[in-house]
Amino acid sequence: MKTRSSFLVWAALLACAASARPDITVVTGHNNNEEATAAFEFRRVPPPDGNSGAPGKFTIVDGRGDPNGGGLEALNDGRTPTEEDQPEENFFFDAGTEGGRLRLDLGRATPIQQINTYSWHPGSRGPQVYKVYGASGEAAGFNPAPKRGTDPAGCGWTLIAAVDTRPNDGGGGGQYGVSIGDSSGRVGEYRYLLFDCSATEMEDDFGNTFYSEINVLPVGARVPSASAATESNAPEIKPYVARSADGKYEITIDTARAPELTEWATNKLGPVLAEWYPKIVALLPSEGFQAPERFRVILRPGRGVAATRGTRITANARWIKQELTGQALGSLVHEAVHVVQQYGYARRHNPHPSENPGYLVEGIADYVRWFMYEPQSKGAEISARNLAQANYDRSYRVTANFLNWVGEKYDKEIVPQLNAAMREGNYNTNLWVKGTGKTVEQLNTEWKQELKKNINGTAAGGS
């Protein structure tokens, strides 16, 4: 069920789109990060339908596709992403560029009923900014591949509509749908469509939209029904925003689906994250990297404990309620570490990134939690009961214990060094040798021997 705020965002976005002719309508829909699902359901825009679209072939007229993307075939393969940050399921222009131009060849002049475009990304690559032109290909002086700098309207193309779904209040992450139609049910009869796509921002290299699907529906095709969702009658609970002491970092905590946690989120969780997020950023630096300055925490009923994707943390409100005086805060500090880790950075900056060990991803997060945020809890201690299962790659608390031991005995910078290498896509096992003079296996053996000695010594002293 969509909230009242979603409707207002939709209304604002609709005002940002413009048509070239008064009879052309441009309807825009937006699902914010916590509402977006793989169904791509919008209040006014039909969901994607790979079975109704006119067949055609996309070509890049100007610009270049990002090698991390799914290629042009992702635009009309009938599939949409199942998650918010799936580069391989989207087409997008290369990082650091200002967009480009795409041409769709339908094979013959086709009466068009609708042009529908879809995108999904948690950040600035979510909104859509483009102009779409149509051409039969028969006009005198027709240029089938006008580069940027050439006005398509001057070489046989007709401007159909201009689209800009960027919200006025910044951010812009989420899922977007755009439907271009005509009051008569006929946009025009064209063989070619030209999409002149612009980056949503140029403050960094990552402003090119993740286009998930482009559906061109011919006249007579079935148009999928838009979502029939209605506004909730429940009182709106606005997200709480916590800020670091210096104002640099902003954490939005959304309890709309768990209103009973609003007071705890405001008085407990917000202050903890505002204090500890800057500390985590300082602990895990790497050259040229800037940690996200904003992230979002959504508390809602679900499964498990919590999960982080990019700059969005989703936590199971049912579990949190049971752990308000126990692990609730520590678990979300753990997730905040994942926001800072940003290991997807490697895919954007390293053409051949190495694979990061999963045990280290979680082990580093638990190291920060158990040995820095709440060392007094001794939650990562190895006891006689779990000594037999202790191994450096056991993940979570066990790996955290191993990392702490290596840091105290050999190299106090081992965690920042490992994290930096993983973020840059340069992890390899030689990093352990470089930092300590020993392989990770040798360190593992020594660590376990020392654990056993300490446990036995404690048992003997207590007898």
Phi then psi dihedrals of residue 19, to 5 deg: -110, 155
User: Are the CB atoms for 23 and 182 separated by under 8 Å?
Assistant: yes
Phi then psi dihedrals of residue 297, to 5 deg: -120, 125
Domain assignments of the chain as residue spans, ordered by start: 4-218, 240-461
Instruction: Assign 112 to helix, strand or coil.
Output: strand
User: Are the CB atoms for 213 and 48 separated by under 8 Å?
Assistant: yes
- CA–CA dist 258, 300 (Å, integer): 5
Instruction: Specify the higher pLDDT residue, 61 or 35.
Output: 61
Strands of 122-248, DSSP E: 129-135, 158-164, 174-182, 188-198, 211-218, 240-243
Specify which residues 28 forms β-bridges with: 178
**Range 27-37 average pLDDT:** 88
* pLDDT tens-digit series, residues 390-409: 999 999 999 999 999 999 99
Element of type H or E holding 406? helix 396-409
User: Are the CB atoms for 252 and 240 separated by under 8 Å?
Assistant: yes
DSSP structure class, residue 65: B
- CA–CA dist 444, 74 (Å, integer): 45
Residues 6+ apart with CB under 8 A from 318: 301, 302
Q: Assign 12 a pLDDT band (cuts: 50, 70, 90).
A: very low
Phi then psi dihedrals of residue 376, to 5 deg: -65, -20
- CA–CA dist 62, 60 (Å, integer): 6
Number of other CB atoms surrounding residue 81 within 10 Å? 24
From 2.170.120.12, 3.90.550.10, 2.60.120.260, 3.40.50.970, which CATH number describes the 4-218 domain? 2.60.120.260
The answer, yes or no, to whether residue 435 has pLDDT greater than 60, is yes
Q: What percent of the chain has pLDDT over 70?
A: 90
Degrees, nearest 5: CA angle 190-193-197: 160
User: Are the CB atoms for 419 and 341 separated by under 8 Å?
Assistant: yes
Domains 4-218 and 240-461 share a fold: no
Q: Assign 169 a pLDDT band (cuts: 50, 70, 90).
A: low
* pLDDT tens-digit series, residues 36-69: 888 898 989 999 986 656 679 999 999 999 988 8
Q: Domain 240-461 belongs to what topology? A: Neutral Protease; domain 2 (1.10.390)
- CA–CA dist 416, 201 (Å, integer): 31
Phi then psi dihedrals of residue 119, to 5 deg: -150, 160
DSSP secondary structure of 177-193: EEEEEETTS--EEEEEE
**Range 110-122 average pLDDT:** 95
User: Are the CB atoms for 242 and 232 separated by under 8 Å?
Assistant: no
Q: Hey, CA dihedral for 447, 450, 456, 457, is it positive or negative? A: negative
DSSP structure class, residue 51: T
Specify which residues 65 forms β-bridges with: 93
Instruction: Assign 139 to helix, strand or coil.
Output: coil
Element of type H or E holding 106? strand 99-121
The lowest-confidence range among 239-248, 296-305, 394-403 is 296-305
Amino acid, single-letter form, for residue 44: R
Distances in Å between the Cα of 299 and the Cα atoms of 149, 153, 262 are 48, 50, 9
Amino acid, single-letter form, for residue 212: S
Q: Please give the pLDDT value at position 345.
A: 83
The answer, yes or no, to whether residue 25 has pLDDT greater than 90, is yes
User: Are the CB atoms for 198 and 121 separated by under 8 Å?
Assistant: no
For tokens 């003997």, the residue is 460
Does the pTM exceed 0.85?
no
Q: Please give the pLDDT value at position 460.
A: 60
Q: Please give the pLDDT value at position 79.
A: 85
